[in-house]
Amino acid sequence: MRRYLWVMVGLALAGLLLGVQHNRYAQQGTGDTLAQTVRGIVVPLQKGVYAVSAGLVQFFNTLVSAQHAIAGQHRLLEENARLRQELKRMRALQRENETMRTLLKVRPELPHEWLGCRVIALYPQQQTLILDRGTRDGILPGAPVVCGEGLVGVVAQADAGSAIVRLLTAPRVAVSARVLNSSRVSSGFCEGRGESEILLHMLPPEAPVQVGDSVVSAGLGGKYPSNIPIGVVVQVWLDRQYSLKKARVRPYADFENLQIVLVQRKEHRR
Amino acid sequence: MRDTSYIRLHWFARLLLWGGWRLHARWIGLVVAGSVLQGVVAPRIAIGTAMPDLTLLALACIALRTNPTISAWAGFLSGLIEASIQDQLMGSLIISRVVAASLTAFLPMVMAPDRRLSAVASITVLSVLAQGLFYLFAPSAVGVGFVRTILQGLVYNIGVVLLAFGLFRRLLPSSLLEDDRRYGTFNL
């Protein structure tokens, strides 16, 4: 019995030392060799399992939904035609926008190059995703990650062939945000709290924020591009202690069903 | 004078002939498989927001079918793998898993490890201990929806363990533990 307890205590202490060492590496901004080695073994296995399971799911989906796919194709053709029209209109607006920027002498935003990545593993409890691409493809820590619905999170760590993404809902992930209200645009900060909704705070008390307002990234600090949709306001209250307005925001992105995301590659500065 | 009555084999030959490796290969395989599948398969088989924790499931099975030493090592390995994949909370994950798996491995002293209900007790005790300790060590990382999430996961895990207990019994049969008792854990 005593031997068992000694093994438990010894291994727990070893875990504590490894944790301290890992934190030290993280603070220095260098990778933990042990963690990288373990990832080098496990992540390729996960990629293999992902490929097999995705193939199986696709096979069964094809069998089940062949009839729906034919009907869906017609719907997609219609949507495609509609989107082409929309695109033409957007291009015209973009030209107009560029002309106005030139008139106002506003510096244009730097171009961003986005890379499509597959989500090979998801840990919702720890608000973490693993992507199938890494530094080899130009993905670096700190790069923003988006999906069709909006902002997903930020790359926390990148290895050669994989990257770890912290979701917007994760604690210590913060993004400057703007609330698009019909009467006035207000700015604040969105911060994850480890739950499904994120906290929008630092809003001025007079900000006319209402339930249902859209929240987009403000682009302050240059880490996240501006105007990426974040979510929708579901609750607003006034924090009387600090005289600031706060809001709860439900993210647009469905984190539990992400398959493909876009990651901003290293910027090509002109 | 030198005793020549026995021949000492080369370490590699001793490793091959050692009877305990089958058990160790199986529990290591189970922990690695659980950790690999947790990120890839578990989100796909989630029912609503309830998702199984395959790593804890593997640990519960190991704790029930082996001894506290092997369970502590299994907890260490699973914590190390999970923390490395996510690149966070290394110490919290390892300590919570080691302590929870070791303590759960004492359950066979009071209940029969071949019973299905013992497996339910094992996964319940292990989940509560592992997740509770993890919450104590890293409350901010877990968040406020913690209790709801672990309760949903626990119910799912109990369902899985009831269905798959036969498979676990085959993966870690009692005969392997007999080999371990005979040859010793890590006693080459």
ipTM: 0.82
Stretch (H or E) spanning A154: strand A151-158
B118 touches A: beta carbon within 8 Å: no
CA distance A194 to chain B (A): 4
Q: A207 to each of A94, A111, A211, A251, B105, how far by Cα in Å?
A: 30, 32, 13, 20, 57
Given this model, what pLDDT does residue A60 score? 83
8 A C-beta contact, residue A190 and residue A154: no
Angle at A101 between CA A96 and CA A106, to 5 degrees: 165
Determine contact: B87 vs chain A, CB below 8 A.
yes
Under an 8 A CB cutoff, do A35 and B84 touch? Answer: yes
Give the pLDDT score at A267. 56
How is A180-226 classified by DSSP, letter by letter? E-SS-EEEEEEEB-SSSSEEEEEE-TT----TT-EEEE--TTSSS-T
- Among candidates B43, B94, B143 on the partner chain, residue whose Cβ is nearest the Cβ of A19: B94
Rounded Cα–Cα distance for residues B147 and B99 (Å): 20
CB A141 within 8 A of CB A155: yes
B24-53, pLDDT tens digit by residue?
888 999 999 999 999 999 988 888 878 899
Query: Other C-beta atoms within 10 Å of A155: how many?
Result: 23
pLDDT of the residue at A202: 87
β-pairing, A144-146 with A128-131?
unpaired
A52 chain-B contacts, CB cut-off 8 A: none
CB A34 within 8 Å of CB B84:
yes
Which string of b and e fits B57-94 if b means at least 16 CB within 10 Å? bbbbbbbbbbbbbbbbbbbbbbbbbbbbbbbbbbbbbb
* Residue among B36, B99, B145 whose CB faces A45 most closely: B36
Q: What is the pLDDT of residue A14?
A: 94
Interface test with A, best of B28, B35, B36 (most A CBs within 10 A): B36
Q: Which two tokens stand for residue A48?
A: 């293999």
What pTM, to 2 d.p., does this model score?
A: 0.78
Burial class of residue B177 in the structure, from the number of CB atoms within 10 Å of its CB (0-12 exposed, 13-18 middle, 19+ buried): middle
For testing contact with chain A, the best of B80, B85, B104 (most A CBs within 10 A) = B85
Look at residue A162 in the predicted model and tell me its pLDDT: 92
pLDDT (0 to 100) of residue B187: 45
- Min Cα separation B129/chain A (Å): 14
- DSSP symbols for chain B: ----SS-PPPHHHHHHH-TTHHHHHHHHHHHHHHHHHHHHTGGGG-BTTB---HHHHHHHHHHHHS-HHHHHHHHHHHHHHHHHHHTS-HHHHHHHHHHHHHHHTTGGGTS-TTSHHHHHHHHHHHHHHHHHHHHHH-HHHH-TTHHHHHHHHHHHHHHHHHHHHHHHHHHS-HHHHHHHHHH-TT--
Q: Is-contact A165 A153, C-beta < 8 A?
A: yes
Report whether B20 contacts B179 (CB < 8 A). yes
Check if the beta carbon of residue A171 is closer than 8 Å to that of residue A193. Answer: yes
- With an 8 Å Cβ cutoff, is B86 touching chain A? yes
- Measured between alpha carbons, how far is A128 from A173 in angstroms, rounded to an integer? 11
H helices present in chain A, as ranges = 2-28, 33-104
Q: Which of B67, B94, B149 comes nearest A125 by C-beta?
A: B149
Query: A186-209 burial, b for 16+ CB within 10 Å, e for fewer?
Result: bebbbbbbbbebbbbbbbeeebeb
B67 in contact with chain A, both atoms CB, cutoff 8 A: yes
Tokens of B177: 């533990």
Whether A157 and B87 lie within 8 Å, measured CB to CB: yes
- Closest residue in B to A128 (Cα) is B86
- Reduced to 3 states (helix: H, G, I; strand: E, B; else coil), residue A105 is coil
Evaluate whether B169 touches B114 at the Cβ level (below 8 Å): yes
Return the axis-axis angle of helices B54-65 and B90-104, rounded to nearest 10°: 40
| One pLDDT digit (tens) per residue for chain A, 270 residues | 778 889 999 999 999 999 999 988 888 877 788 998 999 999 999 999 999 988 888 888 888 877 777 778 888 888 898 899 899 889 888 888 888 877 776 655 556 788 989 999 998 888 899 999 999 999 999 999 998 888 999 999 898 889 999 999 998 889 999 998 777 778 899 999 888 889 998 888 888 888 999 999 988 887 888 888 999 999 999 888 888 889 999 999 988 888 889 999 875 444
What's the pLDDT score for residue B178?
Answer: 64
Under 8 Å between Cβ of B160 and B61: no
Cα(B138)–Cα(B133) distance, integer angstroms: 9
Tokens in use for B125?
């005790």
Q: CB of A150 within 8 A of CB of A214?
A: no
CA atoms of A252 and A263, how far apart (whole Å): 17
pLDDT in tens, B79-116: 999 999 988 888 999 999 999 999 999 988 888 888 88
B83 contacts A35? CB cut-off 8 A = yes
Contacting residues for B177 by C-beta, under 8 A, at least 6 apart:
B23, B65, B66, B67
Strands A151-158 and A185-191, by their bridges, are unpaired
Which single residue is written with the structure tokens 């914590």? B79
Mutation site for B-interface testing, chosen from A1, A2, A4, A255 by largest number of B Cβ within 10 Å: A4
What residue has token string 């880490």? A223
